[in-house]
Amino acid sequence: MRYVGRVLAAAAGVGAGVVAGLLARPRRIRRRIGLVRERVGRRFRYLRGRLRGVRYRLGGGRPDPDVTDDVLADRVRSRLGSVTRRLDVPRVHVTAFGHVIILHGDVATAADAIVVEDAVWRTSGVEGVVSMLHEGLVSGDTRPSEGDLTLLPSPMLRRLFAAAQQAGCTQETVQPAVRAVLTTFFERLPVAERRHVASHLPVDVQVLTVPPRRRGQAPARMRHLDEFIEAVLRIDHIDRVHAHDITGAVLQTLRDLVPEEAQDVAAVLPEELRRTWTEPAAHTPPI
């Protein structure tokens, strides 16, 4: 009897396990069906949105061009997402100022830069494009598909950064601030003098001096330092309170880095900017 009882208990346990398995299987099936249904629904909503966009454009519709700069910048970023993924280049930084789009970033070739700029120019609401895109990924730059590498900045670049920070620039904004000052300055130099100065600079400083390519907007002529600083502020959002000091510190440090060209550069500058260029630089700790 004891043996029979054990057999019956074992059979009951097996039966309970089978029943539990049969009951659990429908739950797993329902869960999988739910996941598939969710994925199909998400894909359907995406395709439906794309179809509406295609129909909207085929019907001659365009997004409202009369929007704020923040909305316009978001619109451009959305458009550039698929473009940069297709080109396999790092994300392009977008800012807007008076419906003029300012682009910062790195691309592999001039053709890539043109593709990005064309995509921006075709965006509804854009009235001008100022491209600060650097053509050619230098040593240490990588495509998004290759991961990240970091190289130490050159001594010249560190001196420029230190001067800007000593003048009130934060560490987080020092690179775009220095670039805004240098590109605005180099854009105002004659091409020959621009090349002479750049030839004395390391690559990581040269890439910060390349003047922007412009569409729909020519660089403004300027005679006064305040006009120069306003042009710097339009390139990047430098702290206005410290913009004058940062501009002077960067230009005077650049002058000290290229003493062979200092007099030639001074000769082609308007009076107020020439005074800023020739003023003694504040002491910057050695790097």
* Cα gap 131→92, rounded to integer Å: 10
| pLDDT computed for residue 133 by the predictor | 84
| pLDDT computed for residue 249 by the predictor | 94
- Tokens read off for 228: 């120069």
| pLDDT computed for residue 16 by the predictor | 59
* Cα gap 205→209, rounded to integer Å: 7
DSSP state of 127: -
DSSP state of 203: H
| pLDDT computed for residue 262 by the predictor | 93
HSE-up of residue 75 (Cα within 13 Å, Cβ side): 22
Check: CB of residue 132 under 8 Å from CB of residue 186.
Answer: no
| pLDDT computed for residue 49 by the predictor | 64
| pLDDT computed for residue 248 by the predictor | 94
Distance set, CA 161 to CA 22, 106, 132, 232 (Å): 69, 20, 19, 16
* Cα gap 86→192, rounded to integer Å: 36
Residues in the chain, pLDDT under 50 = 4, 7, 139, 148-150
* Cα gap 87→78, rounded to integer Å: 15
Distance set, CA 56 to CA 114, 247, 280, 282 (Å): 26, 47, 60, 58
DSSP class per residue in 79-115? HHHHHHHHHT-PPPEEEEETTEEEEEEEESSHHHHHH
| pLDDT computed for residue 139 by the predictor | 47
* Cα gap 210→104, rounded to integer Å: 11
Q: Phi and psi dihedrals of 276, rounded to 5?
A: -65, -40
| pLDDT computed for residue 149 by the predictor | 44
Token look-up 């702290």 returns 239
Instruction: List pLDDT tens digits, range 8-64.
Output: 555 555 555 555 555 555 667 777 777 777 777 777 776 776 676 566 556 655 678
Check: CB of residue 246 under 8 Å from CB of residue 167.
Answer: yes
| pLDDT computed for residue 52 by the predictor | 64
